[in-house]
Amino acid sequence: MRHLIDTTDISVAEVDQIISTALDIIAHREKYAEACKGKKLATLFYEPSTRTRLSFTSAMMELGGSVLGFSDAASSSVSKGETVADTVRVLGCFADIIAMRHSKEGAPLVASHYSRVPVINAGDGSHAHPTQTLTDLLTIRREKGRLDNLTIGFCGDLKFGRTVHSLIKALSRYEGINVVLIAPEELRLPSYIRREVCDKNNIPTREVTTMEEVLPELDILYMTRVQKERFLDEEEFERLKDSFILNPERMKAAKPDMIVLHPLPRVNEITRDVDNDPRAAYFRQVENGKFVRMALIYTLLKWAEEQPVEGETPRLRGEEMHNDWQCSGRQCISNAEDVDKLFHPTEDGEYRCAYCESKVKK
């Protein structure tokens, strides 16, 4: 059974296939109007979401399928203490495919170990958001005509911004990618991504603290919001929340064909008067999200038909099970629910948690 938990669960060729399907859907909407007729999508959203949940909902509706689920944890059995594993076992009896958002990192991975239908990670804590990445890739393809030979600047909260983590992983598989990280010291990209994704794949990566010094060289500026809900210290959030603000004055320094992306919601980091600049691609990006989710649901359901259910087998891919170890991640599902503790060895001889990538607590 194929799931989409992390961007790299699907190969570059499969990403291309999903993007081509999305482009075909855009060109021939009527052809797909009944493509998932009789199929049901369950949206299990344990954490607030507007566009991702509704994007999944409208994607399934446009494929002729139907949707069930919940939009906050309080209205689900989790409020009675049900585990993620049990919830997906139950939901697999009602639905053909599941999209899950959870504040605990690794919850969708746990779900995939117990589900008999495909599970899509719709965002887990500050860890990953692979369907936003597919959205970003489709947008880049449509706006720039390619996914290689690009200089992309990531600006804002690179520490907690899960969309940044997933997109960097995805882009590291293409040729000629240059990454510029624009963040205050406190919100720098997690070092494991810098080391194990950028450095390992020889991606030229630069860290700067102001937008001005790099804007003229960027093909893409990926703006992000400072993730208020992930801060423990409200004062620190207040101090950092307006670290970077993109405005028309700053846009003057950018290339005429640079595009501005943002996973939304926007708070203050892009002023409203940038919206009419043709380079502001963030609302076009939202629409691409629906098309790429249609392509993903369609593809995963097709793969599920072709592959038999394997039963409850954790997909161990080089991970080791050490139930006597503990992950150091504050938001890790393995510290919240009774799950098998899985770790993978890193090149520097350490171990990191398979659910959230944090180090082992010694």
CB of 243 to ligand ASP, least distance (A): 14
Select the residue whose beta carbon is closest to ligand ASP and give its number. Answer: 263
Name residue 239's amino acid.
R
CB of 157 to ligand ASP, least distance (A): 8
Report the candidate in 36, 8, 6, 39 with the shortest Cα–Cα distance to residue 21.
Answer: 36
Closer residue to ligand ASP, CB minimum distance, 132 or 205:
132
Q: Which residues are at the interface with ligand ASP (CB under 6 A)?
A: 52, 123, 129, 132, 162-163, 225, 263-264
First to last CA, the chain: 35
Q: How far apart are the C-alpha atoms of 170 and 8, rounded to whole Å?
A: 7
CB of 35 to ligand ASP, least distance (A): 26
Please give the structure tokens belonging to residue 119. 């599970």
CB of 153 to ligand ASP, least distance (A): 17
Closer residue to ligand ASP, CB minimum distance, 123 or 190:
123
Neighbour count for residue 203 (Cβ, 10 Å)? 18
Burial 16-40 (b: 16+ CB within 10 A, else e): eebbebbbebbeeeeebeebbeebb
Please give the structure tokens belonging to residue 255. 């290339």
CB of 302 to ligand ASP, least distance (A): 27
Longest CA pairwise span in the chain (Å): 57
**8 Å CB contact between 178 and 152:** yes
CB of 123 to ligand ASP, least distance (A): 5
Report the candidate in 231, 164, 230 with the shortest Cα–Cα distance to residue 197.
Answer: 164
Strands 326-327 and 66-70: unpaired
Closer residue to ligand ASP, CB minimum distance, 40 or 129:
129
**8 Å CB contact between 244 and 267:** no
CB of 117 to ligand ASP, least distance (A): 23
CB of 126 to ligand ASP, least distance (A): 8
3-state helix, strand, coil in the chain (%, to 5): 40, 20, 40
Strands 342-345 and 320-321: antiparallel
Cα-based angle 197, 201, 203 (whole degrees, multiple of 5) = 90
Cα-based angle 215, 221, 222 (whole degrees, multiple of 5) = 145
